[in-house]
Homo-oligomer: A and B are copies of this chain.
Amino acid sequence: MSLSIQILGSNSASFAHNRHHTSQLLKIQDQQFLIDCGEGTQLLLKKYDVKFSRIDHILISHLHGDHYYGLIGLLSTLHLYGRQKELTLIGPPGLAEILTIQLKYSETTLAYPIRFIEWTPGEHKLIYENYKITIHTVPLDHRIPCCGYFFKEKPKKRRINKHMLPEKLSPLQIIALKNGEDILDENGKVKYKNEDISLPPHRAFSYAYCSDTKYNPDMVPMIRKADILYHEATFGEDMKDRALRTFHSTAFEAADIAKQADVNQLIIGHFSTRYKELWPLLKEAKSKFMNTELAIEGHIFEVHA
């Protein structure tokens, strides 16, 4: 498994029907990214047995409370748990000010450094990268500055299957093979062609997180061919007017974006409290884009190599 998303909370605005505010945990290989952090996220992390210490990146989409009111509590808990290693926090202008003022009045100096990366509203750019992944911002169209995120694995190396190797190779030769190079003999001539003794790399996977936003086809080129797209579907088509007025999307619109962007799978979430039953939203989305799933809390969506 290369990439997985666990849904922690998937309701919009208020708590209802046993659904919580938005938060999800993305794992890419051995890296964990917490995306949005509504009130009570730390309780949900405990519920699902997530090791707090392994979360090294937190991303916030916007400053509506149902997407970030749990952040200051989680940061405080990491401090209490004795965290010392750096945490990367990616979010909107204003977030640092809000956190700073709360830490000031509690006279708390966090025991670990935060590397805070602030995006510029409306800008589509590479906001973060490390040796395994890149993250691009995806400007969304909401009532206040709001930003989706496109996570993509970097191209992977060729794979070694020991049983294919004709002889025991040195570590340097193994690295060369993984990098796609041939193995040469002592005279510099090709001894083994790379493609004969190594396997093609696994595909680099990608995940797009788009919440909150009204229907906005401008995002399509930025999330094209994502393996999984999470797109908000606060309402159904029955509430299309309200969706438009409040800068949210319907399930059908989410599916329409998924279809245009030619993604593999769509997850819809951020459900309005008015929908106790979610199957009508799922049915509506599937009518446009069949491979759609509901963001049921606790559920893990995986992409397998």
Please give the residue numbers on chain A whose beta carbons come within 8 Å of chain B beta carbons, in ascending order. Answer: 13-15, 39-40, 42-43, 46, 63-65, 69-70, 72-73, 76-77, 80-81, 92, 94-95, 97-98, 101-102, 104-107, 143-144
CB proximity of A108 to chain B, nearest CB, Å: 8
13 residue pairs A–B, Cβ–Cβ below 8 Å: A14-B81, A15-B43, A15-B77, A39-B39, A39-B70, A39-B73, A43-B43, A69-B72, A69-B73, A92-B105, A105-B144, A107-B143, A107-B144
CB-CB under 8 A from A13, the residues of chain B are 80
- Specify which chain B residues have a CB less than 8 angstroms from the CB of A46 in the assembled complex: 15
CA distance A81 to B144 in the complex (A): 21
CB distance from A61 to the nearest CB of B (A): 13
Q: Find chain B residues with CB under 8 A from A105 CB.
A: 63, 92, 94-95, 98, 144
A93 to B233, CA, bound (A): 40
Instruction: Decide if B43 touches A42 in the complex (CB within 8 Å).
Output: no
A63 vs B107: C-alpha distance when bound (angstroms): 9
Q: How far is the CA of A261 from the CA of B95 in the complex (A)?
A: 45
> Would A14 and B106 be within 8 Å (CB), given that A39-B42, A39-B73, A72-B69 are in contact?
no
B144 in contact with A106 (CB, 8 Å)? yes
Best-surrounded residue of A69, A76, A80, A94 (most CB of chain B within 10 A): A69
| Contact for A43 among B40, B73, B80, B94, CB less than 8 A | B40
CB contact under 8 A between A63 and B144, given known A15-B46, A39-B40: no
Residue ID in chain B nearest A16 by CB atoms: B46
By Cβ-Cβ distance, the 5 closest A-B pairs, closest first, are: A94-B105, A63-B105, A39-B73, A69-B73, A40-B40
Given contact pairs A40-B43, A107-B144, enumerate 6 new A-B contacts (beta carbons under 8 Å). A63-B102, A63-B105, A69-B72, A94-B101, A95-B105, A97-B101
